[in-house]
Amino acid sequence: MTYDPPDSIAAVMTPAEVRQACRVGAFNRPTRGAAVGWVHCNLVVLDQRHAYDFLLYCQRNPKACPVMEITDTGNPEPRRTASGADLRSDLARYHVFRDGVQADDSTNINDLWTDTSIGFLIGSGITFDGALQRAGVPTDKDRWVVNTDIDTEPAGVFSGKLVATMRWLTPEQAIIATQVSARFPNNHGAPIHIGDPAQIGADLANPLFGPPVGKVRDGQVAVFWACGVTPQSAALNAGIDLMITHAPAHGLPIDIKSDDVALP
Amino acid sequence: MTYDPPDSIAAVMTPAEVRQACRVGAFNRPTRGAAVGWVHCNLVVLDQRHAYDFLLYCQRNPKACPVMEITDTGNPEPRRTASGADLRSDLARYHVFRDGVQADDSTNINDLWTDTSIGFLIGSGITFDGALQRAGVPTDKDRWVVNTDIDTEPAGVFSGKLVATMRWLTPEQAIIATQVSARFPNNHGAPIHIGDPAQIGADLANPLFGPPVGKVRDGQVAVFWACGVTPQSAALNAGIDLMITHAPAHGLPIDIKSDDVALP
């Protein structure tokens, strides 16, 4: 299959439709902009030997790593939040880390999943894109994933700096986006910083995702959220033998409406 | 020491003062009513062999088991939330379960803690007692811990029914208490049920804590919250070799103000 849905189609696809299209190779684009209004998750797959340390790392860093579901050991179906889904194939693109070094991306992990693999679904900020759009905050541009110099709380072998999602917004949009995102505490919640990127050591010279950053526009302000790419940074530091994650912006939409996880 | 602080003194003690008084044996009363306005925690101590299953159980049952801190393996100090505290001695009374059978209570666990023990601090509903009192809802009576027939989501060896805190309130108080407790999602949050106890199979004949229940008074309604005693029920079912918990209503106040964990 070579068909990829255009933005207008992707936006109204259901999570199950996105997952099925990924499974058959007909969805090779970011899930940002797809299945709008549904909860999106980042993925981490680890062997059970590392599962306690990793879950402890998530518990100690809940803004970056809000856990939505953990599969039973060896079972690739996240049956509580996405019945019928298969974590081995239902994401468009996977990052693979071996001994702390990033290997080539993969479009499925059928050959890497074992009887002792565990999948962690971690709430993504894409979850509140629909709510931001309804509130008049654009979500389709001026958006990056960047490193910061903020230490996360270590747990076992996992440690490292916080990774952030940065958006450039007008001050009015920043205020609205703060209020809207605060209603989603299990999907990174309110911003961690607004204003000078240097105050949190944000590395704008080397964004992890997105085009070259350039200079912030007049009349705009940088707004930063804790990002689900943080565990990838921790995996690089840990140097564990095998860790698989979603590729940035290529997550898994699950069968829960964003409005159903939002605070009133 | 035989001194126990009266209610008026206990209420205004700081968490550190309560912990120190417990440590030296000068505090043998419930922590309900003590250190009002501070976050209170329930305790579970397990060997590291059971830690992943238990943490997974907490993740899958967050209303009953909201995790506030997990100690590093073998270290009895919850340094992130109660610096200087010692989980082996700083609670007034401990439950001990061996092979799924409750043994005698203990006033310290110095002899039971090992190099592979891990302490889990779980947010307690006592945390919002101060906020309820400010809102005019009494917290000192008509309150029980009861079994229900609601299944929790199992994880590894842990499974069982949800345990609930029940209060009898006027309808007006029930409405206020619902709003107030909802602001504390990491301390059991909003009620799980209001009204007929039979609808959730609440076992009023055998309360786990509190005096005999009797009949609900005219003009009052039963209100139920998920309760931090739920893990004790799971431990009984699991039949693991050793699990230590707080005795009901004998928890650990930590160095975080309740207002600082409440939603706006």
Option in B52, B60, B185 nearest A52 (CB): B52
B183 touches chain A (CB under 8 A): no
pLDDT per residue over B35-57, tens digit each? 999 999 999 999 999 999 999 99
Q: Would you kindly state where each structural domain of chain A is located, as residue ranges?
A: 7-126+234-258, 128-230
Average pLDDT value for residue range B119-138: 93
Structure token pair of residue B221:
């309604």
Taking 60 as the threshold, does the pLDDT of residue B1 lie above it?
no
- Predicted local distance difference test score (pLDDT) of residue A1: 54
Q: CB-based contacts of B240: which residues, under 8 Å, 6+ apart?
A: B46, B50, B97, B99, B100, B157
**Would you call B70 and A52 a contact, using CB atoms and an 8 Å cutoff?**
no
Q: Do B55 and A60 touch (CB under 8 A)?
A: no
* Residue indicated by tokens 């689900």: A228
Contacts of A70 in chain B (CB under 8 A): 56, 59-60
**Residue A150 · residue A162 · CB < 8 Å:** yes
CATH of B128-230, one of 3.40.50.300, 3.30.2040.10, 2.40.30.30, 3.20.20.60: 3.30.2040.10
Interface contact A70-B56, CB threshold 8 A: yes
Asked if A60 and B67 come within 8 Å (Cβ–Cβ), the reply is no
Q: Do A56 and B55 touch (CB under 8 A)?
A: yes
Q: What is the DSSP letter of B45?
A: E
Only one residue has tokens 């050591």, namely A201
Helix (H) or strand (E) holding B238: helix B230-238
Segment B161-171 shows an average pLDDT of: 95
Q: How many CB pairs under 8 A join A and B?
A: 26
Predicted-assembly ipTM surpassing the 0.90 threshold:
no
Judging contacts by C-beta atoms under 8 Å, the chain B residues touching residue A263 are: 263
| Pairwise CB contact (< 8 Å): B67 & A59 | yes
Whole-angstrom Cα distance, residue A72 to residue A50? 14
Q: Is the dihedral of CA A120, A125, A128, A134 positive or negative?
A: negative
B115 contacts: CB under 8 Å, gap ≥ 6: B73, B74
Q: Which two tokens stand for residue B176?
A: 């206020």
Q: Is B201 on the interface with A (CB under 8 A)?
A: no
pLDDT digit of tens for each residue in chain A (264 aa)?
Answer: 567 898 899 999 999 999 999 999 999 999 989 999 999 999 999 999 999 999 999 999 999 999 999 999 999 999 999 999 999 999 999 999 999 899 999 999 999 999 999 999 999 988 999 999 999 999 878 889 999 999 999 999 999 999 999 999 999 999 999 999 999 988 899 999 999 999 999 999 999 888 899 888 889 999 999 999 898 888 888 899 999 999 988 999 999 999 998 887
Mutate: best of B53, B58, B70, partner A, most A CBs <10 A: B70
The helix or strand, by DSSP H or E, that contains position B143, with its residue range, turns out to be: strand B143-151
Radius of gyration of chain A (CA): 17
Contacts of A212 (CB under 8 A, 6+ apart): none
| Chain A neighbors of B48, CB-CB under 8 A | 52
Confidence of residue B2 (pLDDT cuts 50, 70, 90): low
> Chain B residue closest to A58 (CA)?
B59
pLDDT > 90 in chain B, percent: 81
Contacts of B51 in chain A (CB under 8 A): 52
Judging contacts by C-beta atoms under 8 Å, the chain A residues touching residue B120 are: none
Cβ separation of A55 and B55 shorter than 8 Å?
yes
Cα A28 from Cα B171, distance rounded (Å):
54
Residue of A48, A52, A72 to mutate, testing the B interface (most B Cβ within 10 Å of its Cβ): A52
What is residue A181's predicted lDDT score, i.e. its pLDDT? Answer: 95
Identify the CATH assignment for A7-126+234-258 out of 3.40.50.970, 2.30.30.110, 3.40.1640.10, 3.40.228.10. 3.40.1640.10
Interface contact flag, A55 B60, Cβ < 8 Å: no
CA distances in angstroms from A157 to A237, A238, B118, listed in the order given: 8, 5, 17
Cβ contact (<8 Å) for A60 and B80?
Answer: yes
Residues in contact with A62: Cβ distance below 8 Å, sequence separation at least 6, in sequence order: none
Q: End-to-end CA distance of chain B, in Å?
A: 42
CB contact under 8 A, B80 and A67: no
Choose the closest CB to B55 out of A52, A153, A185. Answer: A52
Rounded CA-CA distance B159/B61 in Å is 10
CB of B6 within 8 A of CB of B241? Answer: no
Look at residue B259 in the predicted model and tell me its pLDDT: 92
Query: 3-state SS of chain A?
Result: CCCCCCHHHHHHCCHHHHHHHHHCCCCCCCCCCCCCCEEEEEEEEEEHHHHHHHHHHHHHCCCCCCEEEECCCCCCCCCCCCCCCCCCCCCCCEEEEECCEECCCECCCCCCCCCCEEEEEEECHHHHHHHHHHCCCCCCCCEEEEEEEEECCCECCECCEEEEEEEEECHHHHHHHHHHHHCCHHHCCCCCEECCHHHHCCCCCCCCECCCCCCCCCCCEEEEEECCCHHHHHHHHHCCCEEEEEECCECEEEEEEHHHHCCC
The reported pTM is 0.91
Residues A7 and B253: their CA atoms lie apart, in Å, by 51
CB contacts, 8 Å: B80 with chain A: 60, 153
Please tell me if residue B70 touches chain A, with a CB cutoff of 8 Å. Answer: yes
Task: Dig out the tokens for A200 from the structure.
Answer: 């949190």
Q: Which residue of A has its CA nearest to B153?
A: A80
> CA–CA separation, A45 vs A26, rounded Å?
23
Residue B223 has pLDDT above 80, yes or no: yes
A49: left (phi over 0), alpha (psi -120 to 50) or beta: alpha
- Angle, to 10 degrees, between the axis of helix A230-238 and the axis of helix A51-60? 140
Neighbours of B198 (CB within 10 A): 9
Q: Do A70 and B51 touch (CB under 8 A)?
A: no
Q: Poorest-confidence range of B28-37, B76-85, B231-240?
A: B231-240
What is the reported pLDDT for A151? 97
